[in-house]
């Protein structure tokens, strides 16, 4: 077995927002859960320490944590995406844009045109509240040992707020309900802000579309634990120049929501170097001078070494795309809103293949699966 292998394995999963691109996450989650089953059968103790998400990632995350077990999570995701599917049509060329007229189970157009001058959004997202109730077991989600964290932005204060099933000081406390998940996906100007108590919230991706820190904080500090942080990056780097205003907006979204993770990855080496320095200095402190507080702070800091081991399932990774047997050609910019059955299935399949290739390699390198698996 690989020398990196430890007695226990904790996995953190971070899911971005990206509309219909969330179907990539659907497939990737299926691959992850299957491989976790394989690790269990190999006799290792593997747990999902945290699932964090934004927007469509928050919805996918709720299906995973709000489930009885891994098989139930897969079933709930399949049923969710089946409900969100717009089906296939003989005029398939228009599938990308059909979502402009609404997505069953997600959102529908407003029809109060007489009041259009007072509109602050174009759609009504109340259907998603019912969809969440149908596909997420919120009692299981709130009782789960897996940390569930979704983010939203307070419309008035601009504060990034976290909704958790495990309360922490400074965050919104209380039971996670459908409106908390919906708040994380309330992206303006298409969607309305979601009221919770006396506050209203927009999509958390406006501030941070990849909540890495919340997943890292959920890892235990035990020395005998192997920690693996899995992140799905839904956005490609390269694309032809936009040809119209819709494509300009699509490209803006890609650059805004996809590049933060890549910047975090570039900073990981700097963070690790600082932590190595801290560890070296700590080792030189005489035992008599060590205090419980110093040891606690060192343990807390060591968690952030996980940043150096991000397992990034990135659609912009040409080597990974080739290894998964997929085309490197970028999808149309309108893929954000392509909820056609064919589009969803294509992305689900691609997400599964990308994640299986990447995770199989990572898990084997950690000694979690047989080398010939």
pLDDT on residue 310: 79
Say how many CA atoms lie within 13 Å of 275 toward its Cβ.
18
Mean pLDDT of the chain: 85
pLDDT on residue 271: 65
pLDDT of residue 4 exceeding 70, the answer is no
d(CA 373, CA 371): 6
d(CA 100, CA 20): 12
Report the range of poorest mean pLDDT among 189-193, 291-295, 301-305.
Answer: 301-305
Alpha-helix runs per DSSP H in 109-194? 126-135, 138-143, 178-184
d(CA 344, CA 350): 10
> Residues 6, 366: contact at Cβ < 8 Å?
no
d(CA 146, CA 41): 21
pLDDT on residue 3: 42
pLDDT of residue 263 exceeding 70, the answer is no
pLDDT in tens, 353-369: 999 999 999 999 888 88
Name every residue whose Cβ is closer than 8 Å to that of residue 2 and which is 6 or more positions away in sequence: 364, 365, 366, 367
Percent of the chain topping pLDDT 90? 50
* pLDDT, greater one: 173 or 155: 155
> Residues 8, 225: contact at Cβ < 8 Å?
yes
> Residues 366, 228: contact at Cβ < 8 Å?
yes
d(CA 192, CA 91): 31
pLDDT on residue 37: 94
**Segment 265-290 mean pLDDT:** 73
**Segment 62-78 mean pLDDT:** 98
* pLDDT, greater one: 356 or 167: 356
Please report which confidence band the pLDDT of residue 249 belongs to, taking 50, 70 and 90 as the band edges.
confident
Using the structure block, give the residue that is written with the tokens 């010939």: 372
Please report which confidence band the pLDDT of residue 328 belongs to, taking 50, 70 and 90 as the band edges.
confident
Please, what sign has the CA dihedral across residues 93, 99, 100, 103?
Answer: positive
**Segment 39-52 mean pLDDT:** 90
pLDDT of residue 2 exceeding 50, the answer is no
d(CA 353, CA 348): 9
- Determine whether 124 is an active site residue: no
pLDDT of residue 239 exceeding 50, the answer is yes
> Residues 237, 251: contact at Cβ < 8 Å?
no
- Determine whether 55 is an active site residue: yes
Please report which confidence band the pLDDT of residue 303 belongs to, taking 50, 70 and 90 as the band edges.
low
pLDDT in tens, 330-354: 676 678 888 988 899 999 999 999 9
d(CA 202, CA 153): 5
**Segment 215-240 mean pLDDT:** 81
Residue 99 φ/ψ, nearest 5 degrees: -65, -15
> Residues 38, 188: contact at Cβ < 8 Å?
no
Number of other CB atoms surrounding residue 75 within 10 Å = 15
Report the range of poorest mean pLDDT among 17-26, 41-50, 74-83, 106-115.
Answer: 41-50
Angle of helix 70-84 versus helix 126-135 axis, rounded to 10: 150
Please report which confidence band the pLDDT of residue 5 belongs to, taking 50, 70 and 90 as the band edges.
low
pLDDT in tens, 85-126: 986 554 444 556 778 888 989 999 999 999 999 999 999 999
Please give the model's pTM, rounded to 2 decimal places: 0.86
**Segment 269-273 mean pLDDT:** 65
pLDDT of residue 187 exceeding 50, the answer is yes
* Annotated catalytic residue within 95, 203, 226, 264: 203
pLDDT on residue 264: 55
d(CA 346, CA 340): 10
> Residues 54, 184: contact at Cβ < 8 Å?
yes
Structure tokens at 29: 């989650």
pLDDT on residue 169: 59
User: Which DSSP helix (H) or strand (E) runs through 363?
Assistant: helix 341-365
**Segment 73-96 mean pLDDT:** 78
d(CA 10, CA 12): 7
**Segment 140-144 mean pLDDT:** 96
**Rg of the chain, C-alpha, whole Å:** 21
pLDDT on residue 373: 41
Structure tokens at 102: 């609404």
**Segment 291-320 mean pLDDT:** 76
């Amino acid at each position: 077995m690989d020398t990196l292998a430890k007695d226990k394995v904790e996995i953190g999963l971070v899911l971005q927002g990206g509309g219909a691109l969330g179907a990539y996450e659907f497939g990737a989650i299926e691959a992850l859960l299957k491989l976790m089953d394989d690790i269990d059968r190999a006799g290792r103790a593997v747990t999902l320490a945290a699932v964090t998400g934004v927007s469509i990632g928050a919805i996918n995350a709720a299906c995973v944590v709000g489930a009885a077990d891994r098989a139930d999570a897969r079933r709930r995701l399949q049923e969710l995406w089946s409900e969100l599917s717009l089906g296939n049509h003989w005029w398939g060329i228009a599938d990308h844009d059909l979502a402009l007229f609404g997505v069953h189970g997600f959102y529908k157009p407003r029809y109060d045109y007489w009041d259009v001058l007072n509109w602050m959004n174009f759609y009504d997202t109340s259907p998603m509240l019912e969809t969440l109730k149908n596909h997420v077991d919120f009692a299981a989600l709130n009782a789960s040992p897996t940390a569930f964290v979704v983010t939203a932005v307070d419309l008035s204060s601009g504060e990034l707020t976290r909704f958790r099933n495990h309360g922490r000081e400074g965050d919104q406390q209380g039971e996670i309900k459908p409106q908390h998940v919906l708040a994380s996906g309330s992206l303006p100007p298409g969607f309305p802000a979601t009221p919770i108590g006396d506050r209203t919230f927009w999509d958390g991706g406006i501030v941070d579309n990849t909540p890495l820190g919340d997943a890292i904080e959920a890892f235990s500090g035990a020395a005998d634990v192997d920690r693996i942080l899995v992140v799905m990056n839904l956005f490609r780097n390269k694309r032809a120049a936009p040809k119209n205003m819709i494509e300009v907006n699509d490209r803006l979204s890609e650059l805004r929501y996809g590049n933060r993770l890549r910047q975090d990855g570039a900073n990981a080496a700097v963070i690790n170097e600082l932590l190595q320095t801290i560890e070296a200095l700590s080792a030189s402190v005489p035992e008599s001078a060590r205090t419980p507080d110093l040891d606690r702070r060192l343990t807390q800091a060591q968690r952030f070494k996980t940043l150096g081991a991000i397992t990034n399932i990135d659609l912009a990774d040409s080597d990974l795309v080739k290894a998964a047997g997929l085309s490197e050609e970028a999808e149309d910019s309108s893929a954000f809103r392509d909820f056609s059955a064919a589009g969803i299935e294509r992305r689900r399949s691609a997400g599964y293949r990308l994640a299986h290739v990447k995770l199989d390699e990572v898990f084997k390198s950690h000694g979690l699966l047989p080398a010939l698996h």
